[in-house]
Chain A
Amino acid sequence: DAMVIQNPRYQVTQFGKPVTLSCSQTLNHNVMYWYQQKSSQAPKLLFHYYDKDFNNEADTPDNFQSRRPNTSFCFLDIRSPGLGDAAMYLCATRPVRWERGIRTDTQYFGPGTRLTVL
């Protein structure tokens, strides 16, 4: 069963036309992340939510915004997509818990949304 779900899997938008990508999780994890991954590159963290606390990476463009209305859902809004924003966008979650005194650090990734900007 899918635990981190991303919709849509493929999104085509026009240059400058706002787009929203969604992520939902059935894991009840406290932390949700958004990554951007370009071809043949490592995932690049854009921002994360620790519960309701939003944390933006210093080099994330202002063009990228996020919302987390509840524990299960998180949205990535790209206000004015440019050609350079074409990428795979990955959502990940992580629980905040300790098991036998060891912090759980595993991040669970969704399948990603492939964004094309025309």
Chain B
Amino acid sequence: QQQVKQSPQSLIVQKGGISIINCAYENTAFDYFPWYQQFPGKGPALLIAIRPDVSEKKEGRFTISFNKSAKQFSLHIMDSQPGDSATYFCAASYGTGANNLFFGTGTRLTVIP
């Protein structure tokens, strides 16, 4: 059972446009929601993360919007650049044991010049 659902599977955006990736979860025990960026042949790297006590977090061109009541969160990439072309994974974890991450299925983003 997929604990975190992610959409779309792939996304093509023009340079300068806004990229939006959505995730939804069911487990209300989740209290940490990171986004990871992965380039081909590389390990995932933390991009930005949020906890459910805030509805939005912004770091540079990257913003997470979080809707606790709807159990949804999304990543917005403003002014998308070709260098942003990568696979993005949302994830969730909760605070017991080793805080295992439950990953979404990933979104392959392509930003065309």
Stretch at the interface among B12-20, B65-73, B90-98: B90-98
A58 CB to nearest B CB, Å: 12
Interface of B is mostly: loop
Our pick among A45, A48, A50, A90 for the contact of B43 (Cβ within 8 Å) is: A90
CB of B51 within 8 A of CB of A42, answer: no
Number of interface residues of A (CB under 8 A): 26
Known: A43-B44, A55-B98. A105 touches B103 (CB 8 A): no
CB of A42 within 8 A of CB of B45, answer: no
Known: A48-B98, A50-B97. A42 touches B49 (CB 8 A): no
Our pick among A33, A41, A108 for the contact of B106 (Cβ within 8 Å) is: A41
In the complex, which residues 12-61 of chain B have their Cβ closer than 8 Å to any Cβ of chain A? 32, 34, 36, 41-46, 49, 51
Residues of A within 8 A of B51 (CB): 102
Interface string of A64-97 (1 = CB under 8 A from B): 0000000000000000000000000010101000
Residues of B within 8 A of A108 (CB): 46
In the complex, which residues 57-112 of chain B have their Cβ closer than 8 Å to any Cβ of chain A? 89, 93, 95, 97-101, 103-106, 108
Give the interface size class of chain B.
20 to 34
CB of A48 within 8 A of CB of B105, answer: no
Residues of A within 8 A of B103 (CB): 42-43
A31 to B45, CA, bound (A): 17
Q: In chain B, what residue has the closest Cβ to A10?
A: B41
A45 to B106, CA, bound (A): 15
A78 to B17, CA, bound (A): 44
Our pick among B41, B44, B49, B89 for the contact of A105 (Cβ within 8 Å) is: B49
CB of A48 within 8 A of CB of B100, answer: yes
CB of A94 within 8 A of CB of B99, answer: yes
CB of A41 within 8 A of CB of B105, answer: yes
A94 CB to nearest B CB, Å: 7
Given A42-B105, A45-B101, A107-B101, 12 additional A-B pairs, CB 8 A: A41-B105, A41-B106, A42-B89, A42-B104, A43-B89, A90-B43, A102-B51, A105-B34, A105-B99, A106-B49, A107-B34, A109-B45
